Structures are given as structure tokens and as C-alpha cells.
């Protein structure tokens, strides 16, 4: 009984910020009063506030750009990473483990170590403040983890599959693209989802490598919004907070079961 | 056959290697080089030896930055881990456990930008935090309250996912062990201390280790909420690096801060992992 009680009390504390977010994002601007933030909203203007955030605060272009990065970069990264995993585990390249460590080692550097050279490199190659530039960096940063997962996945596939496919005369690329890649779809999906969330939440690369509204990712856009629109327009900012969280909430609900099951099967 | 296959294998690896080499390794090495130079971004870098590092050690802003980073490290390795463990242990095996855990998982689903927005709202002067505390402090304006309240915000977001990890660990504890202990008359605290805690130790090591490394690199929430201010009172090492390089345009100095951060993070993880591995074996 005490267990339930403690959980309920803690749970209510944990829910309070979420309640404040929802209640005050749902208010109309004239219903908002800093003194009465705990009251239930007297109006329901959530969608209007979101529309306001989209259009007037110019989050729209940022959201579009971030979607592009968060979908295209992980998609490219899982294919590129899967190619590496295929080369190492299936084709058994000489020195495969060394190559693998070299690729995976790319994840150990803190982002801070990359920013200065990337900033100047991007400036001198006209990649600064372009969507292509951010796609390149997001893809590269996603590759090591994808390669890590795919190498492990392909190691678990019986080698006789490869031999059978080769016997049928398929060339290597076909074997990879038509047999191994579809086989790995669930693993690719899991990696894709994790990388999507990572990119959707990235601040540092966006801050350093972009500035215009059509290019800069959503975290960067919101960081400038917080200071510029504080005060009376609070409901719009809060609605923006919900708006930019919709993809992560949806993914979370969608994957919660898979996530828990995946962890249960993992090394823990 | 083997010859062509070797080349084919290399060609499958090459896109990964190319991207990692150009976008990750080359900038890393270039940053290491820049940390020994004076570089304003316009003229070419001039070699200055260890000057940046010496200046860094004498910089008064460093003391604040290190203190804040330590606060983050301690706060994030203790609070979200402890709450996660508490939630997991309390709700494990409870009927409707999923329902009880839901409030803790909701924040985890929120995006980073959402987290910043909601806590900016709560912590603003005259906001909800002051309502509850019955105070009138500008929580984001005064050190050390700004750092402490942002640690609370992070705890709010992270506890749920830690609870999930611990729950997986709890599920792997054999039922017979727990039942045997119960037959021996162990109370719930005794059970936790003698059975649950030791058996969860390897998992706790991983969770604490991951939190530690992440906390040393804290940037996003600080930058969005306070930009390291007011003054430089809430800066972490990662924020100091960004400010020195991209606000003050002292790229050599910023590189030195970045490399120091890398070494500290690497060293701490190494020492932590070694100690833990030794403790387990």
C-alpha cells in the first residue's frame, strides 16, 4: 500500500510540469495571466496557438528542415552503415575488426571537438548555412552507431545464406541490396528511430553551422524564441514546445513496447 | 576470387570510412592542432605552444565553469539514477505497474526543445517554481540556483528512462532468489539491501557511467535557458568552449577548452570503468 502511495505522490509531482505546459498552451492569449497559471484553461486555443507558432514565429520552415534532416540522414546512415557491416561480417574483409574499430571510434569524440574545423570547413566550401551541409554532418555522425549494430546483426546470419546467393550468380551488390538489407529491416528500423530522435534534438551543430530560418534546425529556432517572446505571448511559446515534441512523443508511444523488449533481449 | 572479393569488401566499407575520416577524424585532429595556436578565424593560426592551456588554468571563469560542471556531474549521477531506481523497485511486480510508471515516462518523450520551453516557463521569476517554494527568487538569474534548478529539470526528464533500465534488470533477478530470501524472513528493506541492490550492481554501473559522461558534456539546456549567464555564472565546460570559440572568436583558446573537456571526460570514464570492473571481479 505504501508503495502505491509513494508512487502516486511522486507521479503527481512529475505530472505537474506537464499539466502546466498543457493548461497554459491551451489558453487564449487574453486568458493567460501569470498569476493564475494553475487554473484550468477557460478557453481552448491550443491549435490556434500552434498555428501562431508555426506561422508568426516562423517555426514552420525550421520544422520542415528538421524533418528532412531527421529522416534523410538516418536513412542514408543506416544504408551506409549496413554496407560497412556487410563488408566486415559477410565479405569478411581482411583486418575487418580494425576497420570496424576505426569507424566505431568516430563516436567517442565530444561534439565540441568537431565544431571549430567544421565551421571553417563549411564556410570555405559554401556548405555553411545549407541544408546539404547539415545533412552531411548528421549522416556522418549517425554512421558509426549504424555500422556497430549492423555488424553485430550480420554476424548472427548464417554464412551459408551468402554462399547460396553467390551460387545463384547474384553479384555482391545485389546480394546486399536484395537479401541482406531486407533481412535487417527490424534492426535498421530501431537504429533509424534512435538516430531520428538524436537529430531532432540536436542543438550544437545547428547553432554552429546554420543561421537562416529555412536551414536551422528546430532546437536552434526554439532557443532564440525563448528569450525573444517571453512574457504575454507565453501560450504561443508553450504551444511551440508541444508542437516540436509531437514527433518524439509519437515515436515514443509507437516504440515503447519494442524498446522495452529490445532492452530485455540486450546484454543487460 | 579472393582478390576481387577483398576489393569488393573494401568498396563496401569505403563510404563509411570516407565520411568518418573527413567529418569526424580530420576535424578532431585539426582541433587538437588549433588548441596550440592563436587563431581569430581571419589570419592563419600562429603556433603558441601551451599558452592557451596556461591561460585556461588561470582564467577566473574556469573555476566557475569547473564548479558548475562538477555540480552537474554529481547531480545527474545521483538524482535521476536514485529516482529511477526508486520508481523501478516500487513499481516492479505491482499490479498496474505500467500505469504508475507513465507519469515518469511522459517527460522522456518530450523533445529537447520542449523541455527547455516548459522549464523556462516554470523557472521564470514569478513562475510556478516560486509559487511552490513560496519564494521570490529569480531562479535562473542567481547562482547557484540556476544550475541547481536546471539539474532538477534534467532529473525530471531522465528518471523515467533510468527506471525502465532498472526494471529490465529487476526482471532478470531469478524469482527463486527473491522467494528464498522471503522465506528466510527478510523484510522489504533487507531484501533490497541484500538481494536487489547487489544483483543490480552491474546495471547501476552502466547507468551511472552513461549519466556521468553525458553530464560532463552538459550544454543544450544551459545554453537555451541562460546562455551560461547571467555573467558567466551558469556556464559548464561545454558552454565555456562554445562561448570562447564562437562568441569571443578565440578559436585557438576554444579548441584548448574543447580538448581539455575531451581529456577530462575520457579520463573520468576510464577511471570509473576500471574501478568498477575491479570491484565486480
CATH code: domain of residue B134: 1.10.3720.10
Within 180-209 of B, beta carbons closer than 8 Å to A belong to 203, 206
Q: Do B27 and A118 touch (CB under 8 A)?
A: yes
Give B38→chain A minimum CA distance, Å. 13
Residue A94 in contact with partner chain B when CB distance is under 8 A = yes
In the numeric block, the cell 547562482 is attached to B143
Region of A161 on the Ramachandran plot (φ > 0 left; ψ -120 to 50 alpha; else beta): alpha
Q: Do B153 and B107 share a structural domain? A: yes
CA closest to A115 among chain B residues: B27
Q: Do B8 and B143 share a structural domain? A: no
Q: Do B273 and B212 share a structural domain? A: yes
Sorted by where each begins, the domain ranges of chain A are 16-57+229-268, 70-219
Work out the pLDDT band at A229, boundaries 50, 70, 90: low
Q: Who among A14, A81, A208 is closest to B156 (CB)?
A: A14
Q: Do B84 and B22 share a structural domain? A: no
Q: What angle do CA A162, A167, A169 make, to 5 degrees?
A: 105
Within 179-198 of A, beta carbons closer than 8 Å to B belong to none
Contact residues on chain B for A33, CB-CB shorter than 8 A: none
Q: Do B104 and B11 share a structural domain? A: no
Q: How far is CA A5 from CA A8, A12, A223, B18, B96, in A?
A: 5, 11, 38, 56, 13
Residue A127 in contact with partner chain B when CB distance is under 8 A = no
Residue B242 in contact with partner chain A when CB distance is under 8 A = yes
CA closest to A209 among chain B residues: B246
CA closest to A81 among chain B residues: B16
Q: Do A15 and B109 touch (CB under 8 A)?
A: no
The predicted-structure confidence for A94-116, as pLDDT tens digits, reads as follows 888 899 999 988 888 889 999 99
Angle between helix A185-200 and helix A131-155 axes, rounded to 10 deg: 150
Q: Do B154 and B27 share a structural domain? A: no
Phi, psi of A245 (to 5 degrees): -95, -10
- The domain total for chain B is 2
Q: Who among B28, B172, B265 is closest to A114 (CB)?
A: B28
d(CA B145, CA B123): 10
CA closest to A112 among chain B residues: B258
Helices of type H across B217-250: 220-225, 237-242
Q: Do B81 and B27 share a structural domain? A: no
Phi, psi of B104 (to 5 degrees): -85, -20
CA A82 to chain centre: 19
Q: Do B208 and B238 share a structural domain? A: yes
- Whether A240 shows a pLDDT value over 50: the answer reads yes
Single pTM value for the model: 0.88
Task: Enter the ipTM.
Answer: 0.86
Q: Do A268 and B165 touch (CB under 8 A)?
A: yes
Which of the four CATH numbers 1.10.8.60, 1.10.3720.10, 3.40.50.1950, 2.102.10.10 does domain A70-219 have?
1.10.3720.10
The predicted-structure confidence for B141-175, as pLDDT tens digits, reads as follows 887 888 999 999 999 999 998 998 898 888 888 88
Answer for the pair A99, A93: CB distance below 8 angstroms, yes or no: yes
CA closest to A94 among chain B residues: B6
Within 101-120 of B, beta carbons closer than 8 Å to A belong to 102-114, 116-120
Q: Do B7 and B82 share a structural domain? A: no
CA A19 to chain centre: 25
Instruction: Please give the residue that has the higher pLDDT: either B127 or B189.
Output: B189
Q: Do B96 and B17 share a structural domain? A: no
Rg (CA), chain A: 23
Mutate to test the interface with A, among B6, B16, B27 (most CBs of A within 10 A): B16
Answer for the pair A62, A221: CB distance below 8 angstroms, yes or no: yes
Q: Residue A257: which residues within 8 A CB-CB, separation 6 or more? A: none
Contact residues on chain A for B267, CB-CB shorter than 8 A: none
Range of the domain at B129: 51-280
d(CA B33, CA A259): 41
Nearest to B149 by CA among B79, B82, B210: B79
Q: Do B94 and B62 share a structural domain? A: yes
Work out the pLDDT band at B280, boundaries 50, 70, 90: low
Looking at residue A266, its pLDDT comes to: 40
Give A266→chain B minimum CA distance, Å. 10
Q: Do B275 and B173 share a structural domain? A: yes
The predicted-structure confidence for B81-129, as pLDDT tens digits, reads as follows 999 999 999 988 888 888 888 899 888 888 888 888 888 888 886 677 7
Answer for the pair A188, A82: CB distance below 8 angstroms, yes or no: yes
Amino acid at each position: 500500500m505504501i508503495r502505491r502511495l509513494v508512487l502516486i505522490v511522486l507521479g503527481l509531482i512529475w505530472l505537474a510540469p506537464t499539466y502546466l505546459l498543457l493548461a497554459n498552451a491551451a489558453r487564449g492569449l487574453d486568458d493567460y495571466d501569470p498569476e493564475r497559471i494553475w487554473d484550468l484553461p477557460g478557453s481552448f486555443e491550443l491549435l490556434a496557438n500552434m498555428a501562431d507558432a508555426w506561422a508568426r514565429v516562423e517555426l514552420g520552415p525550421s520544422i520542415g528542415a528538421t524533418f528532412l534532416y531527421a529522416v534523410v540522414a538516418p536513412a542514408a546512415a543506416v544504408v551506409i552503415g549496413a554496407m560497412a557491416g556487410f563488408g566486415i561480417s559477410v565479405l569478411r574483409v581482411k583486418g575487418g575488426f580494425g576497420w570496424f574499430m576505426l569507424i566505431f571510434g568516430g563516436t567517442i569524440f565530444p561534439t565540441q571537438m568537431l565544431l571549430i574545423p567544421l565551421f571553417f570547413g563549411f564556410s570555405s566550401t559554401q556548405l555553411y548555412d545549407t541544408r546539404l551541409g547539415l545533412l552531411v554532418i548528421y549522416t556522418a555522425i549517425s554512421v558509426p552507431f549504424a555500422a556497430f549494430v549492423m555488424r553485430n546483426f550480420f554476424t548472427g546470419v548464417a554464412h551459408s545464406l551468402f554462399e547460396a546467393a553467390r551460387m545463384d550468380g547474384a553479384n555482391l551488390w545485389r546480394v546486399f541490396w536484395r537479401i541482406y538489407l531486407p533481412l535487417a529491416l527490424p534492426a535498421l528500423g530501431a537504429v533509424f528511430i534512435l538516430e531520428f530522435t538524436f537529430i531532432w534534438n540536436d542543438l550544437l551543430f545547428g547553432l554552429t553551422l546554420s543561421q537562416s530560418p529555412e536551414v536551422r534546425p528546430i532546437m536552434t529556432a526554439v532557443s532564440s524564441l525563448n528569450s525573444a517572446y517571453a512574457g504575454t505571448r507565453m501560450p504561443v511559446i508553450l504551444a511551440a514546445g508541444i508542437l516540436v515534441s509531437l514527433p518524439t512523443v509519437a515515436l515514443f508511444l509507437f516504440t515503447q513496447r519494442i524498446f522495452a523488449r529490445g532492452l530485455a533481449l540486450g546484454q543487460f | 576470387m579472393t582478390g576481387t572479393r577483398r576489393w569488393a569488401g573494401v568498396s563496401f566499407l569505403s563510404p563509411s570510412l570516407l565520411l568518418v575520416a573527413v567529418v569526424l577524424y580530420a576535424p578532431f585532429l585539426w582541433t587538437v592542432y588549433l588548441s596550440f595556436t592563436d587563431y581569430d578565424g581571419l589570419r592563419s593560426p600562429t603556433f603558441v605552444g601551451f599558452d592557451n592551456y596556461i591561460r585556461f588554468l588561470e582564467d577566473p571563469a574556469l573555476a566557475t565553469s569547473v564548479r558548475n560542471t562538477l555540480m552537474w556531474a554529481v547531480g545527474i549521477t545521483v538524482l535521476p539514477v536514485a529516482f529511477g531506481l526508486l520508481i523501478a523497485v516500487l513499481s516492479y511486480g505491482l499490479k498496474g505497474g505500467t500505469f504508475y510508471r507513465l507519469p515518469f515516462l511522459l517527460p522522456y518523450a518530450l523533445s529537447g526543445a520542449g523541455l527547455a520551453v516548459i522549464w523556462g516557463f516554470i523557472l521564470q521569476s514569478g513562475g510556478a517554481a516560486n509559487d511552490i517554494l513560496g519564494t521570490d527568487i529569480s531562479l535562473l538569474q542567481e547562482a547557484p540556483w540556476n544550475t541547481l534548478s536546471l539539474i532538477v529539470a534534467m532529473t525530471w526528464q531522465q528518471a523515467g528512462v533510468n527506471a525502465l533500465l532498472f526494471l529490465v534488470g529487476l526482471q532478470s533477478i531469478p524469482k527463486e532468489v527473491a522467494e528464498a530470501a522471503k522465506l528466510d524472513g527478510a523484510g522489504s528493506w533487507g531484501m533490497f539491501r541484500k538481494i536487489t541492490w547487489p544483483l543490480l550492481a552491474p546495471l547501476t554501473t552502466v547507468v551511472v557511467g552513461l549519466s556521468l559522461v553525458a553530464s560532463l558534456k552538459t550544454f543544450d539546456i544551459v545554453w537555451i535557458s541562460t546562455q551560461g549567464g547571467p555573467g558567466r555564472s551558469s556556464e559548464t565546460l561545454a558552454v565555456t568552449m562554445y562561448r570562447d570559440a564562437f562568441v569571443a572568436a578565440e578559436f585557438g583558446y576554444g579548441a584548448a577548452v574543447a580538448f581539455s573537456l575531451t581529456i577530462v571526460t575520457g579520463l573520468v570514464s576510464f577511471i570509473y570503468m576500471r574501478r568498477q570492473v575491479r570491484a565486480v571481479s
